[in-house]
A and B are shown apart, each in its own frame.
Chain A
Amino acid sequence: MSLLSAVRVVVLVGAVFAAAPTAYAQISAQRLALCAACHGADGNSQIKGIPSLAAQPKLFLETQLVLIREGVRDIPSMKGMLNGVSDAEVTALAKYYADKPLAPVPTDRDAEVFARGGKLAEGMRCGICHLPTYLGREQIPRLAGQREDYLLLSMQQFKNNQAIGRDSNMAASVYGVSDQDLQDISYYLARLTPATTATGQ
């Protein structure tokens, strides 16, 4: 999607969201439209390389929104977009997207790649922090059902020291892991839903 078409979506979605639900009264309609332009109106991104926000832990969203607003986490395409957004609105936005249901995960599945990715993720102990279900918790993001291209991009950023301002505990987790392995892990995680993970939360 080009920037121009993203702007058109802003206008369209702005109309749809003109009346924000009262639970999220602190959120301005324009802000929601701006988020929706890239992350999807329901928080399920339709754009390559852009993460879905739906069903992420609220605290994870809140923390990242603050770090991006402060310029500590540097996302060039979001630079300045959160300037002046109050803490209360950040919290409301986090809750808004945390409450949105995740869209169905891709149904195509290469059993061999899926299995290999699962084994890699287990061996790398992703589940210690992200939980064995990969649903995430508190400040730790949900991996299950996230966009495959974004999972890969994000892990590559950590691997290449480009995840500035993000969790330094995560930073060393993927150093030296081959791109093929990261691809397989992404393939696996993107196709996981709570129903298909072995253990409950």
Chain B
Amino acid sequence: MKNYLRAISGLGLALAFGMSAQAQTAAPAAAPAAAPPPAWKQGMPESMAKSTLAPLPGKLVATKAADVPIDKIKLPPGFKVEVWADSIPGGRAITEGENGKYYVGTRALGRIYEITDNGKERTSRVLVDKLQQPTAAYKDGSLYVVAIDKVLRFDGIAKNPNPTPVDITANFKFPPLPHHNWKYVAFGPDGKLYVPFGAPCNICVEPTTEYSQIRRYNPDGTGMEVLATGVRNSVGFDWHPVTKELWFSNHGRDWMGDDTPNDTMHRLKLKANYGFPYCHEGKIPDPDVKKANACAGVEPPVALMGPHAATMGVKFYSGDMFPAEYKNVLFNARKGSWNRTKKIGYDVVMVRADADGKNAKVEPFMTGFLNEADQSWWGRPAYLHQMKDGSLLVSDEQNGVIYRVTYKK
């Protein structure tokens, strides 16, 4: 940690505090050693020194379904929403196991929940806790729990509810820095485990080359391949139902103003560079971390998802419950902005695009969590999961509940 901080401290200071502010704070006798700003604040210009924008508060205690103002949620005609599971504080990405079991991870709270659906109602328990920002994926009867510094495999969990986990951490060789390193993980059509690694800062040249990547591994952690570089912070992806290509969401940097740059949606092209830290949206050179021809050879996005909108979970709809025009539509949960004077996101949007990514259009799907008029908000959609019957699960990380969206003519 210390070495990394030293490596970036010069840059971080110049970017975030500016030399004049640093001179002002330096004691005459004992000047403090170079102190980098926190990772999310790097790149903040002097002009924003008086800003009070800060990451928004989460909620770590349980919310009951009855206390969710579900009537405020708006959907297109014919769609309905219910609270499908409640009292899972901080619940985030959803993965489906067997026999009506679903697994949901958290960040700060360190828990993996197991939700059991008997078809009528849901019960939940904490399967494992005290982990560093754990998430989960499921394959061939095994649950893979992936934390920032740990990978645990729970074999045969469908039959044995409390298997002793196998620690397979060492194989994965995860980089250590926690910032932007909560991971969305999923098994691809090729049976490999896909794992993104965010940049450990708002904007910086990474301390080592292990960050800002998307990788895939064999399920046991061997056979690692780097699939993409220059990806600042991808926390959601899915495979196109027709082309089987991976499409992924990516968070743009902060402290570059309300409208720049956008969060983005991308197609994965093998070994492509997506621009971080030098280039955003495939066309905007970074004002702080510069190089000549910053955007040369950078893979452009399929769609712009809104500046600071926090584009999260991605799910291509392949079910039969929703009307035909929803087939192969990409649903994307946007958790909502903090680094913007006027809030955006706090919704689920649809991206309609050609299979090759052309002609993308972003349209609202699930809204009502944000009150534009007074800028208040009450929920933050984060992740999506398509159930076997074609209904769509949407996790609300703020309230620790999961909604189920259904359609009936």
Chain A positions near chain B (C-beta within 8 angstroms): 59, 62-63, 66-67, 70-72, 87-88, 90-91, 116, 119-120, 123-125, 127-129, 131-132, 138-140, 161, 168-178, 180-181
Contact = CB atoms under 8 A, between A and B. Distances in A.
A71 B25 contact: no
B38 A139 contact: no
A125 B49 contact: yes
A66 B59 CA distance: 10
Contacts of B40: 169
A172 B37 contact: yes
Given A70-B110, A87-B61, A120 B25 contact: yes
A178 B38 contact: no
A171 B38 CA distance: 7
Contacts of A138: 56-57
B288 to A, nearest CB: 17
A172 B61 contact: no
Given A72-B130, A129-B54, A62 B61 contact: yes
A66 B32 contact: no
Given A72-B130, A129-B54, A172-B37, A178 B30 contact: yes
Interface in B345-402: none
Interface in B16-38: 17, 21-22, 24-25, 27, 30-38
Given A123-B25, A173-B37, A180-B27, 5 more contacts: A62-B61, A66-B61, A67-B60, A87-B61, A178-B30
20 contacts: A59-B59, A66-B60, A67-B109, A72-B130, A119-B24, A125-B37, A127-B52, A128-B49, A128-B54, A131-B52, A138-B56, A168-B39, A168-B179, A173-B35, A175-B35, A176-B5, A176-B35, A176-B36, A177-B32, A181-B27
A172 B38 contact: yes
Contacts of B179: 168
B129 interface: yes
Interface residues of B, number: 44
B202 to A, nearest CB: 11
Contact of A123 (B21, B41, B58, B61): B21
Interface string B35-55: 111111100000001111111
Interface in B56-93: 56-62, 89
Contacts of B110: 70, 72
A131 B34 CA distance: 24
Given A63-B60, A87-B62, A123 B32 contact: no
A34 B135 CA distance: 35
Contact of B32 (A128, A172, A176): A176
B57 A59 contact: yes
B207 interface: no
Contacts of A70: 109-111, 129-130
B61 A91 contact: yes
B178 A178 contact: no
B357 to A, nearest CB: 34
B124 to A, nearest CB: 13
A191 to B, nearest CB: 19
A108 B51 CA distance: 32
B296 interface: no
A46 to B, nearest CB: 29
B27 A178 contact: yes
A63 B55 CA distance: 15
A173 to B, nearest CB: 5
A131 to B, nearest CB: 6
Contacts of B129: 70-71
A144 B110 CA distance: 30
Contact of B33 (A119, A140, A170, A178): A178
A181 B35 CA distance: 12
Contacts of B130: 70-72
Contacts of A181: 25, 27, 32
